[in-house]
Structure 1
Amino acid sequence: MTRLSQYTLVISAASCVFITLGLNHTQGLFLLPMSEKLNTGRELFSLAGGLGVLFSGLFAPIFGGFADKFGAGKALTILSLLQLISWVWLGNIETNFDLLGARILLGIGASAILGIALSVTGKSVSPSNKSLFLGIIMASGSLGQFVVVPIINTIIQNYDWQMATLISAFIVSSIFIFAFFISKNTPAFKTKSPKTENIDENRILENSQSLTDSLREASKNKSYILLTTGFFVCGFHVTFVGTHLPAFLTDNNLQAWVGASALSLIGLFNIIGTLSFGYLGSKLSKKNLLSVLYSMRSLLFLFFIISPKNELTVLIFASVLGILWLSTVPLTNGIISDIFGQGYVTMLFGITILSHNIGSFLGSWLGGRLYDIYGSYDPVWWICVLLGFTSAAINYPINIKPVKRLQQA
């Protein structure tokens, strides 16, 4: 694979993640106007968002397996079409069913974008650049959040939220182009199982392991189970904050730009976080880094709970949280690759994403549910603190050791 082809593939994959994650992180901006449109409390929007990420988790391994078998470009084309339809639907909601249906479809459309982008990059680039390029893929999602969130917020404030959804649909349509470039620049290879770091970039080992065997192997691996369980907490954290932080700040008498700026800053500083932890993951223990990340999140949430809510504290909170935001993903994906090889890494990461999205469902839904019951988000902030320390303890005993199949290869 030529250097130009590698760069084209990485840029295209990063662009798909840029658009999808950038738009996904605008969802909290729509909570209040859509709830007002349908004359509901916050639970309905929160439930719709939670179902969206839950279905995203359910379909991530399905589309991941589809990408492994039929190609990343084809899978990305289908997913982008589903996103396009869902954004148009969101701009025309009239009933509770419309909101639920559109958000579920949007979740399915976004389901495997990240996993496919990471996997096709990991499979296609040289091992010496893999950690860096995976960090770039993750950083592109954060850059999308930094760029897209304030744009959508400006459209909502100066026009209306329906216009914002239609512009979002237009932005999503560009993924078709990047999917085409990925198809043209992906090496022709069968499902493979490389020997972790020692494989030559031009050498491809054919993997005779079946999908069923891969699932059976992963289900018996204690470290994979711990990793997947701990990733649940990441989903709870990021979706609760992403969905409810703008409304929480409005409740605390802060202007709409503060919430949008906070989400944008999370994206900006996550660029630093993902690149830094992507690099550190090639030098230090990935599972120890995960434990440190989750512990730091809990300490940060404690700081935010006891701090006064003003522009300064919010922006400091958002900046630090950004460094910890999605830095867990390249580390998590890297551990899966280190243990099982690249053969079905997209599918296995998709299953881990399912755990993440179950956490996301609860983070989104419980945020709205408990707010409607207590008139406050305080109970959920304390849940975030507890879960962060729990995940740190879960990740610590993980043993990053290749399975016997790879050791014997």
Structure 2
Amino acid sequence: MTRTAPPNAQPSAQLSMNQVLLCGALIVTLSMGIRHGFGLWLQPITMDRGWTRETFSFALAVQNLAWGITGPVTGMLADRFGPFRVLVMGGLLYALGLVLMGVSSSGLAFMASAGLLVGIAQSGTTYAVIYGVIGRNVAPDKRSWAMGVAAAAGSFGQFLMVPTSNWLIGHTGWQNALFVLGGAALFIIPLALGLREPKGATTLHPHHQSIGQALREAFGYRSFQLLMLGYFVCGFQVVFIGVHMPSYLKDHGLSPQVATYALALIGLFNVVGTYAAGSLGQHMPKRYILSSIYALRAVAIVTFLNVPLTPNSVYIFSAVMGVLWLSTVPPTNAVLAQIFGVQHMSMLGGFVFLSHQIGSFLGVWLGGRLYDLSGSYDIVWWLAVALGVMAALVNLPVRETAIPRQAVPA
């Protein structure tokens, strides 16, 4: 005799929710906060080293791709052995990568440090790993909200760290600023102690699936494919804007201070956006939330490109985009947990994020490549609009109901 086990069933929580949220939020604040400010280094590094913007952009494109490719692996390791070891290694690699960024004297060395090392580090210190812990230790009726809290922390990290990074660059030089941030990344290691789950906590599930079974099930499910496609667009848009907007504004005669405030405003308002998206996900279909976010991004970019470019228009655009920035993260990951359960959540989240990072790779690289070819960012801006419309449409058919599975014989 068999019984049907819903995939979002979970054992009793092994860690307290407050502990998970506090440590997870602080880790995401550091890892995402440092990452969001990389656009501030584009001009000082390229001018000092004599590199083209494409050289810098390609290194960050490799970073996003490395993050995405290794994400499923780090997620798999976190699901199997717990998040603590993954977070410790991620913190060490993050610090090493930032220090080597500061001493890289060639484009190849810069790509290896800023690209490969930092990208791998980010895969082990950001959402996929943290959300796996949340999924296993927070009750399903609070899961979407908890993911919104963690995403809001990453947004607050951007608001906090972007002005801090700009201040460090201005007062200590771009190299020393990277060294300081490398030291800050090491604080991820003691925070990881708060996410150290008891032995066996990651394997207690009412229906055990092998990795191969989980992957075949997910990749054969249409809603999983649609979520990956939407996340591709998310990566393209946010990384293009985050990396290239400071240079876009400077090209149009606005001061670097405007760009700093713009990135900080994105981070500040995304605290509201991500928290709201996570909270709304408890009360309404998440596919409608995701579709609305992508549609509103397209409207915001079209409006921004068609009004006079002034500091005030930049700040308004940044505030609007901030609300929409990472607000896709809580509903996307909550849908994954709702459909497939939490046993392999970090791994499946890593695969969805791989799609996000392929989009990020193209967004940041095409931004630099097409600028060098045409002297303008216009083509990439309008490509971001078209992709936003597409993502709004593909999220509407997503099915959020859990996949029924047969439990082991009683």
Q: TM-score, normalised on structure 1?
A: 0.94
CA contact (8 A) 1:341 1:406 kept: no
CA contact (8 A) 2:270 2:325 kept: yes
Question: What CA distance in whole angstroms lies between the structure 1 residues aligned with 2:117 and 2:172?
Answer: 25
Match of 1:333 in 2: 333
Q: C-alpha deviations, 1:69-126, integer Å up to 9, x for none?
A: 1111111001111101001101111111121111221011001421111110121123
Question: What CA distance in whole angstroms lies between the structure 2 residues aligned with 1:353 and 1:126?
Answer: 23
Question: For 2:405, what is the secondary structure of its paired residue?
Answer: helix
Question: What CA distance in whole angstroms lies between the structure 2 residues aligned with 1:96 and 1:373?
Answer: 19
Q: C-alpha deviations, 1:137-180, integer Å up to 9, x for none?
A: 00000000000000110111223101110111011010011012
Question: What CA distance in whole angstroms lies between the structure 2 residues aligned with 1:86 and 1:241?
Answer: 23
Match of 1:77 in 2: 88
Instruction: Give 5+ residue unaligned stretches, structure 1.
Output: 193-203
Post-superposition shift, 1:188?
A: 4.4
Post-superposition shift, 1:127?
A: 3.2
CA contact (8 A) 1:38 1:96 kept: no
CA contact (8 A) 1:340 1:406 kept: no
AA in 1 matched with 2:26: S
User: Residue 2 and residue 235 in structure 1: after superposition, are their counterparts in 2 closer, same or farther (change >3 A)?
Assistant: closer
AA in 1 matched with 2:188: I
Post-superposition shift, 1:128?
A: 3.6
Q: C-alpha deviations, 1:28-64, integer Å up to 9, x for none?
A: 0011111112212111111110010001000001000
Q: C-alpha deviations, 1:241-276, integer Å up to 9, x for none?
A: 111011111111111111111111101000100111
AA in 1 matched with 2:368: G
For the aligned residues, what is the CA RMSD?
1.7
Match of 1:174 in 2: 187
Question: What CA distance in whole angstroms lies between the structure 1 residues aligned with 2:50 and 2:99?
Answer: 21
Match of 1:149 in 2: 162
Q: Which has the higher contact order (CA 8 A, sep 6+)?
A: 2
Aligned pairs, number: 396
Question: What CA distance in whole angstroms lies between the structure 1 residues aligned with 2:290 and 2:257?
Answer: 32
Match of 1:198 in 2: none
Residues 190-201 of structure 1: pairs in structure 2 closer than 5 A:
190-191=201-202
Question: What CA distance in whole angstroms lies between the structure 1 residues aligned with 2:299 and 2:13?
Answer: 45
Match of 1:52 in 2: 63
Structure 2 residue aligned with 1:158, among 171, 186, 201? Answer: 171
CA contact (8 A) 1:61 1:347 kept: yes
Q: Does 1:258 align with 2:296?
A: no
Match of 2:132 in 1: 119
CA contact (8 A) 2:128 2:349 kept: yes
Higher mean C-alpha deviation, range 120-129 or range 392-401 = 120-129
Question: What CA distance in whole angstroms lies between the structure 1 residues aligned with 2:361 and 2:340?
Answer: 28
AA in 2 matched with 1:276: A
Match of 2:302 in 1: 302
Post-superposition shift, 1:207?
A: 3.2
Instruction: Give 5+ residue unaligned stretches, structure 2.
Output: 1-11
Question: What CA distance in whole angstroms lies between the structure 1 residues aligned with 2:106 and 2:206?
Answer: 51
Match of 1:324 in 2: 324
Post-superposition shift, 1:290?
A: 0.6
- Percent identity reads 38
Question: What CA distance in whole angstroms lies between the structure 1 residues aligned with 2:14 and 2:401?
Answer: 31
